[in-house]
Amino acid sequence: MKRILSILLAALLIVSLAACGDSSHSDTKETQPAAEKQEESAEGAAKAPTESPQPTDGEEETPVPSAQSAVLVAFFSATGTTKGVAEKIAAITGGDLYEIVPAEPYTDADLNYNNSSSRSTKEQNDKSARPEIGSEDISLEGYATVYLGFPIWWGEEPRILDTFVEKYSFDGVRVIPFCTSGGSGTGRSGPNMEALAGSGIWLEGKRFGGNVSEADLRAWIDAQP
């Protein structure tokens, strides 16, 4: 009888221990996923980007406009003489160069002033002639001073200069004419262009030879009001 009771007590003890083991294992399985989720959440927060997103392909930043020169040297040169003087003035002033290029270039025959039928002679005899400009348009915004160069034809500016001054507004701009010739002065060119422009502060122009020195040009530029 005692042996039977001992066997029964041992069996009850084994059953009790097995139940405790299952309960402990069950607790572990329920709490572990929550801990893993917390770790993943912490890792996600650590990996989250802290910088603002970069522009995607195809997006461009707005360029910052570069500072514009306060001086423009605009010129028409049929043979290259006026161009050489204009380049010297631009180098001294630090100004921008703009060449007034005719849509139809002038040939040697066109420039024959001894021929009353040449193109240049006909244009100069016609006050309403307006040769077309072939160079790209230019904005005068930001320029305080415009040096305007040209050769003297029959005592006046070439008619393509009339095309130029009628095309743009010179409001608030100092316009300083200069011409090149073998000896003739600016003649009526300054007043002619000022009247046609109808705007701008026009100063008295000056004639230069093609071989004018940089020192002489600098003295003239420095003397401008």
Q: Residue type at 219?
A: A
Q: How far is Cα 101 from Cα 126, in angstroms, rounded to an integer?
A: 20
Which residues lie closer than 8 Å to 113 by C-beta, 6 or more apart?
120, 121, 153, 154
For residue 147, pLDDT beyond 50: yes
For residue 218, pLDDT beyond 70: yes
In the three-class reduction of DSSP (H, G, I as helix; E, B as strand; rest coil), residue 160 is classed as helix
Looking at residue 69, what is its pLDDT?
A: 65
Looking at residue 183, what is its pLDDT?
A: 83
Looking at residue 115, what is its pLDDT?
A: 96
* pLDDT tens, residue by residue, 17-70: 444 444 444 333 333 333 333 333 333 333 333 333 333 444 434 332 235 569
Domains for the chain: give ranges and CATH numbers: 71-222 (3.40.50.360)
* pLDDT tens, residue by residue, 156-189: 999 999 999 999 999 999 999 999 998 888 999 9
* pLDDT tens, residue by residue, 84-141: 999 999 999 999 999 999 999 999 999 999 999 999 999 999 999 999 999 999 999 9
Q: Which two tokens stand for residue 131?
A: 């040769």
Kindly report the number of other CB atoms within 10 A of residue 71's CB atom: 20
Q: Are 140 and 74 in contact (CB under 8 A)?
A: no
Cβ neighbourhood burial of 98 (10 Å; 0-12, 13-18, 19+) = buried
For residue 191, pLDDT beyond 90: yes
Looking at residue 184, what is its pLDDT?
A: 82
